[in-house]
Amino acid sequence: MPASPELEDLRHRVRTWCAANVPRDWRTTTAGADPAADVAFQRAWLTTLAAGGWAVPHWPAAYGGGRSLPEQAVIYEELARADAPRLSLHFVSLHHAAATLIHAGTPAQRERHLPAILDGELWCQGFSEPNAGSDLAALQAVGRPEGDHFVVNGQKTWSSAAAQARWCLLLVRTAPEAPKRKGISYLLLDLRSDGVEIRPIRNARGDAHFCEIFLTDVRIPRTNLIGAENDGWRVAQATLNTERGATMVELVERLRTGLGWLTDQLRAAGLLDDPDSHAAVRVTRFAAELRALRELVLRSLSPTITDAQAGILASMTKLAYSELLQDLTGFATDVSPLAVHLDSPLSAHSGWESGAWLLDFIGSWEWTIPGGTSEIQRTIIAERGLGLPREGAS
């Protein structure tokens, strides 16, 4: 991406702001924090970002954003380089929920929810079900139209941060007799409604980031319908595809930071003294793969890319990033001494990029599953990108 004087000026302003505002001890102070304290910390950091003008650069200008894709890339890159806290709890709120409301919501829905999102109100996603994960169109949760409401019964699973969220983006089947993708409606669910039960799912890291949501005769007002009844599948695809991947710049930059941590550890242990050693070769390979991944992400941000091309590049990016993340954290786990795993100076609470390599490696596996498994991404790339026929097609 060519650097213009305007982009360089923006980079300087973001870097200067980060130097003055990023809390340098945030990893230590948030280590082991309980969920309520984590929510409070992330909300406070969102408020700080919003005051600086960096919280929602991807939103339209009318709602406080209006930054171009290259400008977004610069902002996210500088936040990552400054090791600013990542708003992981607010990702669905700031991206998927906001995109849905901006592109398909009513004026009343946008007026109610967008300011609240920027003020820290949390959202989760109610898409996946026990028997409808990769095949989302097979969802079975039912929303029965009844006057001015939909009466919803069913179960959702793998819903990130549902235990802390107030609202949920919910897909339900409102026309059971229709073809799978034709009878789905998109609703906004207030998680404080009667009949909603949330059960945390404890994972291998020991936390309960994911949740199950059980819905029993939950009444959702028609005013919470996004788009037309039974048109939820199209709405979901259109709104969630509005993300062109600028946030991936931040994730790739943070992964480069992680490689820097690992390189420092290996150099201190003398494992990089021989440039032909296994460790040195792997580190060099990781650096090359990260550079290629960054170029792929930047290519996807080009204004000349069509929506169809952007979708294929998004699958390529997701596949490359998630599998590189697993490889790097797995290698770091293998070569790091036991003391690094037992007594890391960095907070494992911050997410996979904590530097506590064993926990990071365990956490990295979720990246190859949600949002379309690696197998699904390869199928998309093969069929839509390479034009290969579907299996069994004549």
- Catalytic machinery residues: 243
Residue by residue, DSSP assigns 123-156 as EEEE--BTTBSSSGGG---EEEEETTEEEEEEEE
**C-beta neighbour count of 234 within 10 angstroms:** 16
Q: What is the DSSP letter of 93?
A: I
What is the rounded CA–CA span in Å between residue 281 and residue 278?
A: 5
Q: What is the distance between the terminal CA atoms of the chain, rounded to a whole angstrom?
A: 42
CA 364-370-372 angle, 5° bins: 120
What is the rounded CA–CA span in Å between residue 180 and residue 184?
A: 8
Alpha helices in 142-277 (DSSP H): 232-240, 246-268
What is the rounded CA–CA span in Å between residue 352 and residue 328?
A: 11
257: Cβ contacts below 8 Å, ≥ 6 apart: 80, 81, 83, 353
Q: Residue 325's closest CA among 381, 297, 286, 299? A: 286
CA 346-49-248 angle, 5° bins: 65
